[in-house]
Amino acid sequence: MTGTDALAGLDAAQLQAVEHGDGPLVIAAGAGTGKTRVLTSRVARLLEAGAVPERMLLLTFTRRAAASMISRAAALCGDAQAAQRIAGGTFHAVAHRVVVEHAQHLGLVDVTVLDPDDVIDLLDLLRSEHKLDGTEKRLPTTRTIADIGSRAMNTGTPARKVIEEQFPWALEHADAVLALLRHYSIRKRERGLLDFDDLLIAWRALVRDPDVGARMRARWDWVLVDEYQDVNSLQVDIVRGLAPDGQGLTVVGDDAQAIYGFRGASAGHLLDLAETLPDATLVRLERNFRSTQPILDLANEVRPGELGLRLRADRPDTGIRPSLVVCRNADDEARTVADRILAAHVDGMPLREQAVLMRTGSHSAQLEVELKVRGIPFHKFGGIGYLETSHVRDLLASFRVVLNPADEVSWYRLLTRHRAIGKVSARALAGILADGGIDRAADAVAAAPAKARTGLASTLSLLGAVDATTTVPEVVEACRGAVDPLLRAHYPDWQRRAIDVDGIAQSAARQSDLRMFVSEQAIDPVNVAGDWAKKPELDEDWVTLSTIHSAKGLEFGAVHVIRSCDGAMPSDMALSTPAGLVEEQRLFYVALTRARDTLDVYAPARLPTHPTSFLARHVVAKPSRFLTAEARALMDAVDTASGVVVEPAGASVPAAGGTPRIRLDEFDDLFA
Ligand code: ATP
Ligand code: MG
């Protein structure tokens, strides 16, 4: 490899960005214009120019993204080993490493990360402990309360104000919500637990500390951030704190793709940064290297905001327009998607190059069944439900109580896996064990319901045989011994789940630092979550199923966007505020711009009121409001009843809810 590889094929604007010196650099450009590629080439180029890899910090939105950029940079600069030493990962993962390193400064003995499900568990525990249940009717759900707390933390807004502005209907319960959030933060501190927001807050506090902050600034010469449009204000503070004058800072992103408003991100971060750093160079990339012009025409039409910023394709036009596929209902949609995936496959589009994108993970319920029935292999990313990973999390909980006996949430989780222990006793016993650790095993057993004592005694004696000083394989073995019988009894479909538990146990046993492993799984569980379908081998061909959020930054030859109807896309939940609606529009835009060659947008005319229940009612659905008449005029309309393209395209979208030839859902209302 030679030095020119990092620059090969780049156009003038891209070259300018890659070759830029060490002043602040902001690349604000549309989807598919090569932002990520430029960032990767810049990393490679810096390495070639002698930059020390340990002194580069590469922040991305997923672990996968960091890993793939680093391996590409490695290939480009020809020094794979150097590239692997780059500090890279998500904000949360890097925050975690930084926090562990500086635990003493933060007054933490142990660092145990609460994942979003743990947060709910802990809030539930506190809710019943403080009797914030039952008496008061219609208190917001625990998930909403967690959301309120998180928004407050992420934006530095008082929680009461968050409730007033974003959850006005919950205002009458504001006092109870605030009380619960207060209990929550006290309990986290007592037990050494950090949720995702705490990780960022802790990192920011370290950056702001005169001493530690100075060392941290001295440690990284280069800070590079992809997808900067989705940083929240905590992350902005961290980035700004690491590079106050912007020296060595490169950020890239596209404000039109900002899709994390609910986390406290707000559109416009890129231009904000360019404005506040007077020396910043702002680079705009104009040519889209990913998609064909007909796909971009539709994306331009759907994209919210300035009309001037239209994406232009660099590729020759294939003449293939995006399709709007109107289906009768969710089952019809599933069959049609499967048909079209296979048809594209026959036309030479490998399954690996095809993705089904959806607003919410549950939208593919029918499709997953259809794919399984037809033997079409797939792999699902993002939106992995609680149920699918709960067995994995059970095993992790056992590791966690061994490593940090004060981890009440994990005790609670393990205790509820015992047959004869209900939620109330689990809560009491978790308190005892979290306060005194395994030393109080006898007390816990004595306090347990009579029927549960033998089982609990056995669990605790197995877990008590190891602690944080025992070797990792021994801890893993003891935990498996303790957890296996519980899970076997708890999950009727244990056999399927056992594969995942084996997998996670095996990779845990190979770790040198189990604590780090456990926290990393909490932060980014993608690698653990066993999906129901057998995990495909690397060389196998499989279709990607993904939430749009998880498909950010990725591209596929053929993209199928399902459930593109009002209520699903935009989601009903987002309609309460105008900002929510625009964010849904950006999300749809992100989905459309993932496609390289073909783009199919599906709109079922009837939708179940519940994603998976067979008893769900079916209600009439309309194609997404984002598919305006102008947008539809850019698409070929396909009617699944006849399977043919309807002419003239755009004008003839069948009326939503038109009478299907065979009705299978006419009795559904009876079961509502
Ligand atoms: P997104 O906003 O979706 O993250 P992006 O701006 O990061 O998009 P990339 O993913 O970097 O865009 O690039 C999109 C596609 O265009 C990739 O397949 C990339 O390899 C290709 N590409 C980028 N620059 C060039 C170029 N100069 N010549 C040919 N192909 C290019
Ligand atoms: Mg990108």
What is the pTM assigned to this prediction? 0.84
Tell me what pLDDT residue 456 has.
96
- Nearest-CA residue for ligand 1 atom 8 is 32
Ligand 1 first shell, C-beta below 6 A: 9-11, 14, 31-37, 254, 257, 289-290, 553, 555, 593
Tell me what pLDDT residue 321 has.
97
Q: Is residue 11 within 8 Å of residue 287, measured between CB atoms?
A: yes
Of ligand 1's atoms, which has the minimum distance to the CA of residue 289? 16
Tell me what pLDDT residue 190 has.
84
Tell me what pLDDT residue 525 has.
59
Q: What's the CA-to-centroid distance between 250 and ligand 1, angstroms?
A: 17
Of ligand 1's atoms, which has the minimum distance to the CA of residue 590? 3
Mean pLDDT of 254-260: 85
- Nearest-CA residue for ligand 1 atom 13 is 34
Tell me what pLDDT residue 647 has.
44
593 is in an annotated binding site: no
Q: What percent of the chain has pLDDT over 90?
A: 55
31 is in an annotated binding site: yes
* Cα distances (angstroms) measured from residue 378 to each of 375, 527, 598, 600: 9, 16, 19, 18
Residue 418 in tokens: 């015992």
Tell me what pLDDT residue 205 has.
94
Mean pLDDT of 130-150: 80
Question: How far apart (Å, rounded) are the C-alpha atoms in residues 330 and 366?
Answer: 7
Tell me what pLDDT residue 655 has.
36
The pLDDT confidence band at residue 353, using thresholds 50, 70 and 90, is very high
Kindly give, in sequence order, each residue whose CB lies less than 8 Å from that of residue 114, ignoring residues fewer than 6 positions away: 122, 188, 193, 194, 195, 196, 409, 522
The pLDDT confidence band at residue 641, using thresholds 50, 70 and 90, is low
Tell me what pLDDT residue 134 has.
52
Tell me what pLDDT residue 642 has.
53
Q: Is residue 650 within 8 Å of residue 634, measured between CB atoms?
A: yes
- Nearest-CA residue for ligand 1 atom 29 is 289
35 is in an annotated binding site: yes
23-60: per-residue pLDDT in tens? Answer: 999 999 999 999 999 999 999 999 999 999 999 999 99
Mean pLDDT of 518-533: 58
Please say if the pLDDT value at position 4 is more than 60. Answer: no
Q: What's the CA-to-centroid distance between 290 and ligand 1, angstroms?
A: 6
Of ligand 1's atoms, which has the minimum distance to the CA of residue 40? 11
Please say if the pLDDT value at position 572 is more than 80. Answer: yes
Mean pLDDT of 573-593: 86
In terms of Cα–Cα distance, which of 136, 166, 193 is closest to 262?
A: 166
Mean pLDDT of 320-327: 96
Please say if the pLDDT value at position 670 is more than 80. Answer: no
260-313: per-residue pLDDT in tens? Answer: 765 555 557 888 898 899 899 999 998 999 999 999 999 999 988 765 578 999
Ligand approaching nearest to the C-alpha of 13: 1
The best mutation among 10, 26, 36, 554 to test binding of ligand 1, ranked by most ligand atoms within 8 Å of the C-beta, falls on: 36
Give whichever of 142-156, 214-228, 523-537 has the largest mean pLDDT: 214-228
32 is in an annotated binding site: yes
33 is in an annotated binding site: yes
Tell me what pLDDT residue 384 has.
52
Tell me what pLDDT residue 116 has.
85
Grouping H, G, I as helix, E, B as strand and the rest as coil, residue 89 is strand
Q: Across the chain, what does the average pLDDT equal?
A: 86
